[in-house]
Each structure stands twice: as C-alpha cells, then as structure tokens.
Amino acid sequence: MTAPSAMMKQILFAILITLIAWPVLAADVEPEVDWDNVPASEIHRILWQSKAQAILDQDFSRRLTSSAAITSTQTNYDVLFYDISIRVNDTTEWLYGRVKFVANAAEDGVSEIQVDYYASMAIDSIVAPSGPLAYTRSGDVVTVTLGQTYITGETFEFDFYYNGHPAEDGLQAFAFDWRLSKRVMTTLSEPYFARTWWPCKDRMDDKADSFLIEIIVDTSFYVGSNGTLDSTVDHGDNTHSFYYTCHYPMVTYLFSLAISDYTIWYDEWPYNNDNDTMPLVHAVYPDRYDYSLTKFDITPNALTIFSDQYGQYPFVEEKYGHSNFEWGGAMEHQTMTSTSGGSFGFSEPVVVHELSHQWWGDMITCESWGHIWLNEGWASYSEALYYLEKDGWASYHSYMNGMAYTGSGTIFVTDTMSVWTIFNSNLSYDKGAWVVHMLRGVLGDQAFFDGVDAYYHSEYQHAAATTEKFRDVFEGATGVELDWFFQQWIYGSYQPSFRFSYWEEPADGGGNDVYLAVRQIQNSNPSVFAMPVDFFFDFPGTADDDTLTMWIYQRQQIFPLHFDNSLDMIKLDPSDWVLKLEQMEDWTLHILNTDSVLSEGEQTKPYFDSVKVRTSGSFTEYSITSGVLPTGYTLDQNGVISGSTTEKGQFDFTVYVRDLVNPYSEEKVFSINVIALTDGIPGDVDLSGQVDISDITFFVDYFFGGGPAPAVINLADVDGSCVLDISDLTYLVEYLFGGGPASVPGCVD
C-alpha cells in the first residue's frame, strides 16, 4: 500500500476536524489526537465551528438577532441582580424556572420594560412584591408593565416564572444529550441564545452585578456552574439543589450549566507569593478522569503566566475550573469553562485559550458582536504568549505564524445577524491575534504592557468595550496615537504585499551607499498600509550585521543608507512582526529622490538640482509628461534641472524616466518653489543684473504697449511711493539722464 499523498492527508484531517466540530454522540466518541501539535488556525477553526452551530438554521439565528437589535428597546433599565432557580427534569427534558430581576431605571418615566424570552417557552406569571404584573408578548420579546412609574436610579424588582422545553431550532443552547448511556445536560448560549432557556436582558452592554443560582436536579447528577458553590441541599425526594453565587458582574451568555454524572477533582492555584490559594474544580466524564489529570494540570501555571502578564486572575475570590460538555469545541463560561470530552477539549492550546478569556471576554467583554476580535483575537494571541513564556521566542513566533491569515474580509463584523460571520476563525481569531501581536511590535514591550495594564484596570473592567475604547485606553497609557493602526487593521481588508530590492555602490568618502526600494502592490482597501518594518542587513565575514526599522507609509519609497562594508543580503521583517506578503525582486530602475519637493529656486538666480536614478541598464531618457518647469529651467538627459527664471511660485510636474535598453521605467511627481528675488538692484526692472536703458524700455512697454508686468514689483517701485505708476518711469528717466537720485527699494504690499 502506498503512503497517502500530502493532499490526501489534508483532506482526511479536514474531515476529522469537521466531525469533531459537531456535538459528540455516544456512539462516536472522538479518537485521541495530538492537538498540541496542530497549527493554531486549525484549533481555532474547531472552536468557531462549535460556536456557530446555529448556521444550521439561519432563519432561527436571524430571528433572534433581529428581535434583539430592532424590536427590543432595553436601554431604559439597568439590571443589577439575577436570582435564578431552575428545576431540570432529565426525563421529560423540561425546565421549570423562576428568575428574579432586580434593576434600576436608567431614565425618567420608566413604566414598562422589555425582556428577551423565546416564544416557544411558556410564562406562568410575572410577580412584583406588590402583586402580579401585566405583560404582552411579541415574537421573542416580553413587555412587562411595572405597575408604577420609576425615575432614574430607582430600583424595581419582579419574579418571572416560566417553564418549557428549550428551543431546538438549529441550536440547543440548553442541550439534553447522552454519552455512553449517561445523561449530559449542558448550555452554550453565545452569542444570542440565553433567552432560549431563561428570561433575561440578553445584551452584552449590561452585565448584572451579581447572580444567585439554584439548580434542582436528580441526586445522581452534579451541577457545574459559575461562581462559588455555596452548598448542596438534599430535598429527600430524589432531588437536590446546587447553590452558586457570582459576586462579579457577568454577561448573560456566560451563565452556564453542566449537569451529568461527573467525576469531580480539585486542585488549587497559589498566588500572592504563595500566601493565598484559589480552588480549581474540574467536572469530567468518569472515563476521562485519568486523562484529565495530566491535561488540566497545566492550569495553575497558565494562571500564573496570565496573571503576571495581564493582571491578577479577575475572579480570584471565586474559582476556576472545567466541565465537560457534548459540543465539539470549548466555551469560556465565567469561572467554569466548558470543554468537549474528546482529546480536543483537553489539549493545551484549548485550555490556555479558554482560560485567557477570563480576562478578555469575561472580565472585559466586547460591547457588541462587531467587536468580537476583542474576545477571540486576544484569546488566540494569549496562546502564543503562553508558549513564549513557556518555551521562548522561537516558539512564540512559530505559533503566531501558524495563524497568519492573508485573506479578505474585515476583522470588524458588519453582519452581526449571521453567527457564521461573527465566529470566523480566520478574522476574529487568527487575524485578530495578529492585531495584538503587531500592536506589541509597534509599541515595544514596555509600552505594550503599560497599555495592557491600563486596559485591565480601566473603567471597562467587569464591563464592556469597543475597539475605539480599547484604542483610547492604549493611547492614554502610551502617549502614542493609534487611530491609523486600528483603522487599517480592524476596518480594512487583506494586508500589505511588499516588494523590495536594493542598489549598492561605492561611496565617495569610502564604504558603500545602499538604496533600499520598497513598494506595496496590493489592490485592496487600504491600498497603502502604514507600518514600522524591520530590515535585517547581513554583512559577510563581519560582526556588523544590523537591523533597522523603516516606516513604510507610501505606495513606493526609497531609503538611502550608508554602510562601511559590502552587503550580502537584506531580509524584510526577519522576526515576523507584520502580517504581510513579501518578495525580494531584482533592482530595475528607480528614482532615488526621497522627497518630491526639489530645492528652492530664486528669481534670476542660477538653479541646479537633479532627478537621481539608478538602473540596471545602461542608457536612460528623461521627459516631463505633465505640468511645467519654470520658464528658463530645463531638464537634461542626465536628470539635471538647471537654468534661471523670472517667474515665481510653485511649479508641479511629472518626470518620467525610462531605460532605453530594458523595459524599465518609473515616474514621480516633483515640485519646485521659486521665491521672489531677495537681493535685487532697485531699478533693475527687467532683472538683467544692472540698471540701464533696457529698464526704461521695459517700463514703457508695460505702461503703454501692453507688455508684461515687472516680475519683482518692489524693484520697479523706484520712487518708494508704495504704488507702481508712471511716476516710477519718470523717476528712473531722471536718474539715468538728468542726474536724479538713485532708485530706492519699493514698498508695494
């Protein structure tokens, strides 16, 4: 049997990934795979596919998103507290729940509010302390009449009693599954699906300050959830309650349940110089217990790494842990990540990715799904940061290169009604990670981590942020203006495609002059990226190798350099700090002038400057294809511009240079500014360099023959009257022929 081809291996691997991204069935337990050595982009593909299962029924997804984005007007109240009690019946697959809302009015005159709640779920009643409240339903929104009117800051509360079987239209956010003949009941509500199994204000920009959670299940089950497990209470009827409290703010999509016959094991994370410990709780399938011991064992070290780099684990007064669920990927539920029971869910990059979300996604949540890269891009970058701290820089750069995405699309999600576009691994995860990586490269480590520290401690801690708010925090912390960076990388598409070459020649004073030519050839938006780019210069047989940083901000640029030794090689971005395409090319023909503004000219004075060109050919031809030189200036076939002129002002023109032997050419727009004569002779009206009869002739032609005006008025205002008129002609005639006084400098404004 012949070995499978590389293409066949890729096809088989893609099939395996696709299968694993779906919920795992009892008869299809995932085979063991060494996920620790899979490219990061493949890890992310599984993670986003598992979150985007609602794509199976796009109408379902769009129905929920449109009801939230269009119908619901929930900005008139601020949720403070949810007290949740749910009885989960594993036999009938039915939920019986009560959710207490405690909220403040966010404006004056609040008499009714809207609650997100899926239409197929039943409402038993809605009751305030004063009695039952009236309500109406429209689609997936419930409008509750509060019974009185509240002003800004006033608190109100009510209990929402409900029951039903959670929706199964494309995604069971609350899923009743089986695994190895045992019940598994778990949740995955991101992005819009908390409302399908409990009534809530299902928005990202309003986190409840705290949660009290009671889950009632049969005594054969353990319940994993957010926050701290305060107690379990046996009711004596084959059911018991698990009581959790969340003292930290939490967004609705992160509230989670994991219910099954788990094996529970505990670990701890020492922090604060080992003076304190935080509990780690892992709820795993019994058959995965031994396997999980070594896989989840990395958690304490990862907590330390991220706490050192980002700031202390943000839920340190509660816990961290993992619960197995039946989705193929993983989900960063606050303080209790859910992971698949297959080897993927236990892999090192997945464990690290979901843990880092506790900072970026859970503590600070993207304010809307358009900015999902703030969650997923940061978490993907955190994988590379973990490997940097664990294995060094080579591992870091190798990992980043494993998620280099050079395709189309903007990181900012414009169509947030499509779950598929929100969780796009190439953009939100991979390119988002490169944005963080490149930001570190632009700022340098000290400024970058100053920005991270400021973001961690910002007003968005335990709240929500947008790209612009994130940008503003980093600008304030570093003093660096960054709008240009985020505009091109978050709202632009593709990446720069660099072509570079160089010309080397002996310098007049010794050593070598080097001209580095860099151009961007992408046809995308933006057409020009602005980035600092490192270039490595290798000198054979010396210890003088050097790396210089060039700001690339134009379609084409030339960088003149000087070195003591001859070059062997130039490498663009040797450490891969910029997401790009690149290619070194042969030097053809390039105009070397780095500035489009040539030297300044002055009326009547000799002018000299040149358009400098280097070509691999032998003969060149220069021409002006648009615009004009000042009258009296010429461009010769050596690129020299010379002559003198009586004109003044700015002159713009395009110089076209072509190689007469090879098919090389280039053009560049230049400008010359000619200023007024600064040291002319009063009375030298025609600018001949002396005062004589020709100046009288010039005056006569101007005043009486329609001739041109004097080029320098104040040399013609010979009587100093501040007006150019016939008296100046009379004054000049008297001087030249009647012994009158010499001309004086004029004063015409």
Per-residue 3-state assignment (H helix, E strand, C coil) for 203-259: CCCCCECEEEEEEEEECCCEEEECCEEEEEEECCCCEEEEEEEECCCECHHHCCEEE
Q: Are 218 and 287 found together in one domain?
A: no
d(CA 82, CA 99): 7
Question: What's the whole-number mean pLDDT along residues 698-706?
Answer: 91
Q: Are 279 and 376 found together in one domain?
A: no
Strands of the sheet containing 257-260, edge to edge, are 174-179, 182-187, 257-260, 222-225
* Closest of 191, 186, 226 to residue 345, by C-alpha: 186
At residue 182, the 3 state secondary structure works out as strand
Residue reference for tokens 């009326």: 603
Q: Are 558 and 605 found together in one domain?
A: no
CATH of the domain at 617: 2.60.40.10
Does residue 67 belong to any structural domain of this protein?
Answer: yes
Query: Which backbone phi and psi does 21 adopt, to 5 degrees?
Result: -70, -15
Check pLDDT > 80 for residue 72: no
Residue type present at position 228? T
With a CB cutoff of 8 Å and minimum separation 6, the contacts of 246 are 210, 211, 212, 213, 226, 227, 228, 318, 334, 335
What pLDDT digit, counting tens, does each position of 628-648 carry? 999 999 999 999 999 999 899
d(CA 281, CA 279): 6
What pLDDT digit, counting tens, does each position of 561-598 carry? 999 999 999 999 999 999 999 999 999 999 999 999 99
What pLDDT digit, counting tens, does each position of 186-200 carry? 999 998 899 999 999
CATH of the domain at 421: 1.10.390.10
d(CA 593, CA 446): 36
Does residue 596 belong to any structural domain of this protein?
Answer: no
- Residue 506: Cβ-neighbour burial (10 angstroms; 0-12, 13-18, 19+): exposed
Longest dimension (CA), the chain: 132
CATH of the domain at 326: 3.30.2010.30
Does residue 711 belong to any structural domain of this protein?
Answer: yes
d(CA 725, CA 746): 12
Q: Are 274 and 380 found together in one domain?
A: no
Question: What's the whole-number mean pLDDT along residues 316-323?
Answer: 98
d(CA 31, CA 11): 17
Q: Are 176 and 268 found together in one domain?
A: no
CATH of the domain at 561: 2.60.40.1840
Q: Are 369 and 399 found together in one domain?
A: yes
Share of the chain above pLDDT 90, in %: 80
466, 493, 520 — which closes off a domain?
493
Q: What is the pLDDT of residue 475?
A: 98
Local structure of residue 29 (DSSP, 8 states): P
H/E stretch holding 137 reads strand 135-138
At residue 4, the 3 state secondary structure works out as coil
**Residue 170 near residue 245, CB atoms below 8 Å:** no
Q: Are 234 and 270 found together in one domain?
A: no
- The domain tally of the chain equals 6
Does residue 367 belong to any structural domain of this protein?
Answer: yes
CATH of the domain at 233: 2.60.40.1730
More confident residue, 38 or 611: 611
Check pLDDT > 80 for residue 120: yes
Does residue 35 belong to any structural domain of this protein?
Answer: no
Its sign, for the CA torsion 73, 77, 81, 86, is negative
Question: What's the whole-number mean pLDDT along residues 499-511?
Answer: 95
d(CA 117, CA 120): 9
H/E stretch holding 141 reads strand 141-150
Strand 210-218 with 77-89, pairing: parallel
Q: Are 66 and 143 found together in one domain?
A: yes
**Residue 442 near residue 532, CB atoms below 8 Å:** yes
What pLDDT digit, counting tens, does each position of 400-437 carry? 999 999 999 999 999 887 777 787 779 999 999 999 99
Question: What's the whole-number mean pLDDT along residues 280-286?
Answer: 98
**Residue 452 near residue 441, CB atoms below 8 Å:** no
Residue 297 structure tokens = 């064992």
Does residue 344 belong to any structural domain of this protein?
Answer: no
Q: Give me Rg for the CA atoms of the chain.
A: 37
CATH of the domain at 709: 1.10.1330.10
Strands of the sheet containing 320-325, edge to edge, are 263-271, 276-284, 320-325, 337-340, 330-331
H/E stretch holding 88 reads strand 77-89
Q: Give residue 13's pLDDT band: very low, low, confident or very high (50, 70, 90).
A: very low
The whole domain housing 174 covers: 53-254
At residue 306, the 3 state secondary structure works out as helix
Q: Are 706 and 748 found together in one domain?
A: yes
471, 493, 515 — which closes off a domain?
493
Q: Give residue 10's pLDDT band: very low, low, confident or very high (50, 70, 90).
A: very low
Does residue 425 belong to any structural domain of this protein?
Answer: yes
Question: What's the whole-number mean pLDDT along residues 484-503?
Answer: 98
Q: Are 119 and 248 found together in one domain?
A: yes
**Residue 431 near residue 397, CB atoms below 8 Å:** no
450, 476, 493 — which closes off a domain?
493
* Closest of 222, 234, 226, 377 to residue 284, by C-alpha: 222
Q: What is the pLDDT of residue 69?
A: 47
Q: Are 97 and 228 found together in one domain?
A: yes
Q: What is the 3-state composition of the chain as percent helix, strand, coil, each rounded to the nearest 5?
A: 30, 35, 40
What pLDDT digit, counting tens, does each position of 50-59 carry? 776 544 444 5
Residue type present at position 448? F
d(CA 447, CA 451): 6
Q: What is the pLDDT of residue 585?
A: 96
Give the other-Cβ count within 10 Å of 655's Cβ: 24
Question: What's the whole-number mean pLDDT along residues 210-231?
Answer: 98
Does residue 48 belong to any structural domain of this protein?
Answer: no
Q: Are 421 and 478 found together in one domain?
A: yes
More confident residue, 115 or 699: 115
More confident residue, 10 or 283: 283
Residues in a beta bridge with 128: 131
Question: What's the whole-number mean pLDDT along residues 235-250?
Answer: 98
Q: What is the pLDDT of residue 266?
A: 98
- Residue 226: Cβ-neighbour burial (10 angstroms; 0-12, 13-18, 19+): buried
Check pLDDT > 80 for residue 715: yes
**Residue 90 near residue 176, CB atoms below 8 Å:** yes
Question: What's the whole-number mean pLDDT along residues 233-251?
Answer: 98
Mean pLDDT estimate for the chain: 91
H/E stretch holding 736 reads helix 726-737
Q: What is the pLDDT of residue 18?
A: 40
What pLDDT digit, counting tens, does each position of 324-371 carry? 999 889 999 999 999 999 999 999 999 999 999 999 999 999 999 999
* Closest of 482, 477, 469 to residue 452, by C-alpha: 477
